[in-house]
Structure 1
Amino acid sequence: MQRLVSAVVAAALVAAPTHVLAWGSTGHRIVGEAAMKALPSEVPAFLRTRAAVAEVGELSREPDRSKGAGKIHDHDRDAAHFVDLEDDGRLLGGAPFLPLPPTRADYETALRTVGQDSWKAGYLPYSMIDRKQQLAQDFAYWRVLKAAEANPKWKAHRKWFTADRIRREGLILRTLGELSHFVGDGSQPLHLSVHYNGWGDYPNPKAFSTARLHGPFESDLVKNTVRARDVEAGMTPLRLCGCSAEQRTVDYILSGAKFIIPFYEMEKAGGLGQGDPRGPAFATERLAAGASELRDVIVEAWRASAEAKVGWRPVAVADVLAGKVDPYPNLYGID
């Protein structure tokens, strides 16, 4: 189904919830803050401050708040928030989801063989992987700057190291907000299915609802009934998979997609009705899953950053931390 791609179409459908709006502000804020509060002590201390928690909570909403900037801007980004899986786990038109193609270009090629494209099918997995990789690189720069700032041998450029570390901390929080948003999208089953806003024009032997359920569930219900403390209490223990970002992302999305049938069964049984506890419980569990995943991938990105290289020409983080290489020329710019 064709997505909302322009302000003109948006105006015509202003009353209709859209597929690309993920959790509302409340849900995204909860995911970001809950994950940040749950970070272990191994990550940099500035991330565990109240200010950082609040900042990531607000920045978690930014990929939605940027909508409406213009047709080119929105059309390129709208499909970043979802992936349309069919009931058999394949993509629109029968394109395979697994194995996940190594790049978006390869993904696009696979979709075009069945007459589809990534703007129709969505490319959420790539949004998540992209932001996790960026976060690991941001952390790598931070490690190098922090070490260089503290090394007396390189005090001639300490002022610059300090200023650049502060700049990098701002970039880290921005990256974290974006990562939080897309990981949050991945915990919302309606962002992982062709049945994203009612069952749609598909075989429907169980007579699931064809009403527009997306917005009322992820926005109104969450805002009115879900409590942040319940989401935090529902988070799972830290789980580091020891696998690639690609594998972890696919596993997470496929796990979330398994909740699409339970969602429609719950709705059919009246679970989204006012005062029914099943809808809030379902949303709370899904938000807790998103917050747990976000915390885990932040820790994985932090650990991966120790093995990275930064600057031009690239210098190994480990060599700077060991005091072997002054990173200033590589960071300030050899050109």
Structure 2
Amino acid sequence: MAVAVILAAGPALGWGHRGHAVIDRTAVESLPADGPVFLRSYLGLIEDSSTLPDDWRDEATPFSKMEEDPNHGWFQEQFAFMHPIPRSRFEFILALDKEQKRLAAAHSPEAERTNVRWTGTLPYALVEVYGHLVNGFRTYRDRQAHHQDTAHIETACAMYVAWMGHYVGDGAQPLHVTIHHDGWQGPNPKDYTRDHTIHGRMESAFVDAIGLSDQDLLSKVPALNPIDGDVFDAVLAYLSTSGASVEKVYQIDKRGAWNEPNDPEARALIYQRTAAGAGMLRDLVYRAWRESALARVPHVPAATDPKNPAYNPETGSAPADRSPALAR
């Protein structure tokens, strides 16, 4: 049963500019030699653009905000009823809507936040931009093969990396994958804080206080994982791993350690989570690069063709296929 969530404000923004920029820089610096190393020439652009998706959530641009807000969270307790997770953003939203109507009919207070905004769509946003990056890399390869200028498509690919990197970075932050994102919700036997400022204390104030940099992370980034399997599955597993550290964030806070830049346990968690984010971003960029070298194989029948056996008339499409296998 999902815990009823009572919050005064929307979730805080992820990591702050320093954290996102460091994750992105470390990821690009960690790319293997046979990856898209041209991205290193665009590190300034990637760092500067690393928090653009947060800007898209501005109240002054309400359509942009409505579309973008859910992309920054994945509050896993809210959809514990859903197995498996649909391979379609729209099927996920429809499943939430059906559950919301069921809860509302039962007069459950949980109905109020069983919706796309208060559940989140982070993995969908991430894999959607991943697809943009694969196509960008394909265009880059094609232009190279035809001896055409690649400067503009290189810039576009760098922007895709920054865009996708934001969601990867948010996913590395444990408070972006739980209903406890802005203070502990529901039963609280361990007396964790319900103060919404815990989010910013951890991911922005503490990160700034320790002066987090790529030099802190380069030796801590996990070994390259080429992601030879399905990308969506890999992203879901990554988010679940991040969620395992939620209580650790609150335990550290209970000691007041997010206000102590020299606290070793607090530093260790920040290093571990940001290094995990940098490693995942590097792995996804490398996987996209390798996938872009594969020949395009048309889907017959097409995903939007009602003759497709997986076609869903509620969404007008079949869900996404599993990622293509990569040559070893």
TM category, shorter? 0.7 to 0.9
Residue in structure 2 matched with residue 253 of structure 1 by the alignment:
239
Of 276, 282, 302, the residue aligned with 1:289 is 276
Of 302, 307, 312, the residue aligned with 2:294 is 307
Q: Does 1:114 align with 2:99?
A: yes
Q: Does 1:29 align with 2:27?
A: no
Instruction: Tell me which amino acid in the other structure corresponds to 1:33.
Output: R
Q: Does 1:208 align with 2:208?
A: no
Unaligned runs of 5+ in 2: 101-113, 298-328
Deviations 1:71-113 (A, max 9, x none): 1111110111011122xxxx25x532x4220111100111112
Instruction: Tell me which amino acid in the other structure corresponds to 1:106.
Output: E
Distance 1:140 1:111 in 2: 35
In the superposition, the TM-score normalised over structure 2's length comes to 0.79
Instruction: Tell me which amino acid in the other structure corresponds to 2:282.
Output: R
Distance 2:57 2:180 in 1: 23
Of 176, 181, 200, the residue aligned with 2:166 is 181
Secondary structure of 1:99's aligned partner: coil
Map 1:111-190 → 2, pairs under 5 A: 111-115=96-100, 116-149=114-147, 161-162=148-149, 165-190=150-175
Distance 2:93 2:248 in 1: 30
Residue in structure 2 matched with residue 58 of structure 1 by the alignment:
48
Shift of 1:266: 2.0
Q: How many residues align?
A: 276
Q: Is the 8 A contact 1:134 1:175 kept in 2?
A: yes
Secondary structure of 1:261's aligned partner: helix
Residue in structure 2 matched with residue 279 of structure 1 by the alignment:
266
Shift of 1:32: 0.6
Q: Is the 8 A contact 2:57 2:66 kept in 1?
A: no
Distance 2:161 2:66 in 1: 23
Distance 2:237 2:158 in 1: 26
Q: Is the 8 A contact 1:95 1:110 kept in 2?
A: no
Q: Is the 8 A contact 2:36 2:286 kept in 1?
A: no
Unaligned runs of 5+ in 1: 4-12, 150-160, 311-335
Q: Does 1:84 align with 2:84?
A: no
Instruction: Tell me which amino acid in the other structure corresponds to 1:139.
Output: F
Distance 1:22 1:95 in 2: 27
Q: Is the 8 A contact 1:36 1:48 kept in 2?
A: yes
Distance 2:143 2:135 in 1: 12
Q: Considering only aligned residues, what root-mean-square deviation do their CA atoms show, in Å?
A: 1.9
Q: Does 1:233 align with 2:219?
A: yes
Q: Does 1:44 align with 2:39?
A: no
Q: Is the 8 A contact 1:140 1:309 kept in 2?
A: no
Distance 1:60 1:273 in 2: 25
Q: Is the 8 A contact 2:74 2:178 kept in 1?
A: yes
Deviations 1:196-246 (A, max 9, x none): 01102x111111111120011111110111421112221111012321111
Distance 1:246 1:43 in 2: 21
Larger radius of gyration: 1
Secondary structure of 1:272's aligned partner: helix
Structure 1 stretches of at least 4 aligned residues deviating more than 3 Å after TM superposition: none
Instruction: Tell me which amino acid in the other structure corresponds to 2:34.
Output: E
